[in-house]
C-alpha cells in the first residue's frame, strides 16, 4: 500500500496503535487497582454491594504475598520470556497479525481474571496476560518506524507513549467501577474494549513495506535480508556499544520506579488516606492520564525542536532534568499529611518526570544496530521487566516486614517509597548523563558507523538516495547512529 511517511494514513495507524496500547496497559494494571478495593470494603459480606461483589481479594482469598507474585513475577516472567521470541519474529512475520493475536490472548486472559475464584486461576490469568502482551510493543514500534521518518519519530513515539498513562488512568477508574458493577464485570468491560480494537486493527490497518529485504505479499514474511545473528552474536554486538549499555542500564533503573509506583501507589493511598479512596480513584485517573500523557507528548515534541536548535544530547537531557526537578514533588506527594496537597504533588511529578519515555526511545531507535534489532529489543525488554519485578518484590517484602506489622505503618510506608524512588531517580539521572556525554561528541565512535553504506537498505519512502543521505546528515551528530530500531517495552 502506497503511503506518505508521516501523512494522514500514517497518523491514523499511529492513533489506532495508541488505542491498542491503552487496552494493553489497562489490562496490565487492572489487578493493581482491583486489589486496592479490599481496603474499602467496610460493607458487610451480606450486602449485595459489598464483600465478594466489590473486592477481588475477598472473593479469591489471596494474601499480600500472593498479590506480590501476581503483580510482579507471574506477569513479567512470561512477558519477558515471550518478549525474546516475539522481538525476533517481528522481523519475519506480519506485524498486524501479531498485534491481532496479542489482543486476542490478553483480552481472553482478562476474561479469565474476571471468573477467578482462587489464587491458581488468577496466576494462570496473569501468565497468559504476559504472553499476549509480549506481542504488542515490538510490532507496534516497528510499524511506527516504518510509517514515520526519523525526524518525526520522536513526536510519534511521544503520542504512542500516551497509552501508558491513559491506560493507567482507566485502571484507576476500576476502583469506582467495581463499586458500581462489581470487580468481575469490570474485567469483562475491559476485555470488551480490547475485542472491539481487535476488529478495527483487522479491518483497517495494513502492513507497510519493510526497511530491509523483500516482503512476501501474501505471508508478509521478509526474505532476502541480512543473515539473522544468533543470540550470543547479538549480545556481543550490543555490548560493544557503550551508548546501548548505558541506555539499557539507565532505563532498567528508571523502570524500577515505574513498576514500584504502579504496584504500590494505590496501596499507599488506601493505607494513608483510607477515607479518600473513592476520590483517589477519580483523581488518579485524571492525574495519570492527563499529567503523564501531556508530559510524554511534550517530551517528544520539545526534544525534537531542541536538537534541531543545535543541542546533540537534547534527547537525554530531558529525562535528566525531568527526574531531578520532579523528585521534590514526589517527596511532597509522599510526605504531605493532606490528601489534596499530596495529589497536587503527584500531578506535578507526573508532568515533570514522565517526559523521559519518548526521548529515550528515539535514541534507542538510532542506537541499536538494525541486524540485531529483534534480539536487542528482546534483551532490553527482559532486563527492564526483570529489574522492575525485582524492585516490586523487594518493596513488597520490606512492606510486609517493616511497615504493616508495626505501629506507624503509614509513616514507614511513606519513608520506604520515598527512599526507593529517590535512589532510583538519582541513579538513573547519573546514567542518562553518562549516555548524554556520548551523544554530545560530534565525532564519537558512532560516527564511524554513520559512514557505513546502509542508506540504500533503509530508503523506503520513495526518496532518492541523495535526499536520504542529506536528511540523515542533519541528525548525524545528534543521534549517534543511523540504524533504526522500533521495538520497545
Average pLDDT, the chain: 77
**pLDDT tens per residue, range 168-183:** 888 888 888 888 888 8
Residue 383: per-residue pLDDT: 86
Place 108 in a pLDDT band, splitting at 50, 70 and 90. Answer: very high
Place 123 in a pLDDT band, splitting at 50, 70 and 90. Answer: very high
**pLDDT tens per residue, range 185-239:** 999 999 999 999 999 999 988 887 665 444 444 444 444 455 667 778 878 888 8
Spatial neighbors of 430 by CB under 8 A, at least 6 apart, are none
Place 52 in a pLDDT band, splitting at 50, 70 and 90. Answer: low
Q: What is the pTM of this model?
A: 0.70
CB-CB contact of 262 with 168 (8 Å)? yes
> Averaged over 122-127, what is the pLDDT?
94
Q: What is the percent of the chain where pLDDT is above 70?
A: 78
**pLDDT tens per residue, range 347-383:** 888 888 877 877 887 788 778 877 776 677 777 877 8
Question: Does residue 35 or residue 421 have the better pLDDT?
Answer: 421
Strand pairing class (214-215; 222-223): antiparallel
- HEC-encoded secondary structure of the chain: CCCCCCCHHHHHHHHHHHHHHHHHHHHHHHHHHHHHHHHHCCCCCCCCCCHHHCCHHHHHCCCHHHHHHHHHHHHHHHHHHHHHHHHHHCCCCCHHHHHHHHHHHHHHHHHHHHCCCCHHHHHHHHHHHHHHHCCHHHHHHHHHHHHCCHHHHHHHHHHHHHHHHHHHHHHHHHHHHHHHHCHHHHHHHHHHHHHHHHHHHHHHCCCCCCCCCEECCCCCCEECCCCCCCHHHHHHHHHCCHHHHHHHHHHHHHHHHHHHHHHHHHHHHHHHCHHHHHHHHHHHHHHHHHHHHHHHHHHHHHHHHHHHCCCCCHHHHHHHHHHHHHHHHHHHHHHCCCHHHHHHHHHHHHHHHHHHHHHHHHHHHHHCCHHHHHHHHHHHHHHHHHHHHHHHHHHHHHHHHHHCCCCCHHHHHHHHHHHHHHHHHHHHHHHHHHHHHHHCCCCCCHHHHHCCCCHHHHCCCCCCHHHHHHHHHHHHHHHCCCCCCCCCC
> Given a cut of 50, is residue 256 above it in pLDDT?
yes
> Given a cut of 50, is residue 483 above it in pLDDT?
no
Using left for φ > 0, alpha for ψ between -120 and 50, and beta otherwise, residue 458 falls in alpha
- Rounded distance between C-alpha atoms, residue 104 and residue 261, angstroms: 28
Greatest mean pLDDT range, 32-41, 124-133, 199-208, 220-229: 124-133
Place 400 in a pLDDT band, splitting at 50, 70 and 90. Answer: confident
Amino acid at each position: 500500500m502506497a503511503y506518505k511517511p508521516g501523512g494522514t494514513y500514517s497518523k491514523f495507524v499511529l492513533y489506532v496503535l495508541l488505542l491498542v496500547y491503552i487496552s494493553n496497559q489497562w489490562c496490565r494494571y487492572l489487578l493493581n487497582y482491583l486489589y486496592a478495593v479490599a481496603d474499602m470494603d467496610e460493607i458487610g459480606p451480606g450486602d449485595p454491594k459489598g464483600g465478594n461483589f466489590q473486592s477481588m481479594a475477598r472473593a479469591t482469598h489471596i494474601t499480600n504475598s500472593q498479590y506480590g507474585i501476581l503483580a510482579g513475577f507471574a506477569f513479567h516472567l512470561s512477558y519477558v520470556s515471550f518478549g525474546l521470541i516475539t522481538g525476533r519474529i517481528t522481523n519475519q512475520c506480519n506485524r498486524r497479525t501479531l498485534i491481532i493475536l496479542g489482543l486476542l490472548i490478553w483480552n481472553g486472559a482478562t476474561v479469565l481474571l474476571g471468573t477467578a475464584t482462587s489464587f491458581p486461576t488468577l496466576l494462570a490469568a496473569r501468565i497468559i496476560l504476559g504472553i499476549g502482551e509480549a506481542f504488542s510493543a515490538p510490532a507496534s514500534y516497528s510499524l511506527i518506524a516504518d510509517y514515520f521518518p526519523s525526524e518525526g519519530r520522536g513526536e510519534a513515539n511521544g503520542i504512542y507513549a500516551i497509552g501508558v498513562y491513559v491506560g493507567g488512568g482507566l485502571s484507576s477508574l476500576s476502583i469506582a467501577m467495581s463499586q458500581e458493577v462489581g470487580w468481575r464485570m469490570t474485567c469483562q468491560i475491559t476485555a470488551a474494549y480490547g475485542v472491539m480494537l481487535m476488529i478495527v486493527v483487522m479491518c483497517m490497518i495494513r502492513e507497510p513495506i519493510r526497511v530491509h529485504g523483500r516482503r512476501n505479499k501474501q505471508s508478509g514474511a521478509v526474505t532476502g535480508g541480512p543473515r539473522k545473528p544468533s543470540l550470543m552474536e547479538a549480545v556481543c554486538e550490543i555490548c560493544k556499544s557503550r551508548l546501548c549499555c548505558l541506555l539499557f542500564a539507565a532505563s532498567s533503573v528508571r523502570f524500577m520506579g515505574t513498576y514500584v509506583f504502579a504496584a504500590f501507589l494505590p496501596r499507599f493511598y488506601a493505607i494513608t488516606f483510607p477515607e479518600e479512596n473513592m476520590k483517589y480513584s477519580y483523581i488518579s485517573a485524571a492525574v495519570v492520564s492527563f499529567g503523564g500523557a501531556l508530559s510524554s507528548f511534550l517530551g517528544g515534541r520539545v526534544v525534537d525542536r531542541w536538537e534541531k536548535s543545535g543541542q546533540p544530547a537534547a534527547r537525554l537531557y530531558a529525562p535528566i532534568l525531568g527526574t531531578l526537578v520532579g523528585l521534590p514533588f514526589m517527596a511532597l506527594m509522599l510526605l504531605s499529611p493532606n490528601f489534596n496537597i499530596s495529589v497536587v504533588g503527584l500531578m506535578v511529578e507526573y508532568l515533570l518526570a514522565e517526559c523521559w519515555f519518548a526521548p529515550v526511545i528515539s535514541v534507542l531507535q538510532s542506537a541499536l544496530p538494525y541486524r540485531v534489532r529483534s534480539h536487542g529489543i528482546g534483551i532490553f525488554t527482559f532486563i527492564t521487566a526483570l529489574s522492575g519485578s525485582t524492585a516490586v518484590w523487594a518493596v513488597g517484602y520490606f512492606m510486609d516486614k517493616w511497615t504493616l506489622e508495626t505501629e506507624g505503618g503509614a509513616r514507614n510506608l511513606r519513608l520506604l517509597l520515598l527512599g526507593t524512588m529517590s535512589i532510583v531517580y538519582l541513579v538513573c539521572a547519573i546514567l542518562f548523563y553518562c549516555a548524554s556525554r556520548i551523544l554530545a561528541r560530534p565525532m564519537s565512535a558512532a560516527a564511524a558507523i554513520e559512514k557505513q553504506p546502509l542508506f540504500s537498505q533503509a530508503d523506503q519512502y520513495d526518496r532518492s538516495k541523495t535526499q536520504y543521505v542529506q536528511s540523515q546528515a542533519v541528525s548525524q551528530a545528534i543521534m549517534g547512529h543511523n540504524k533504526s530500531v522500533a521495538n520497545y517495552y
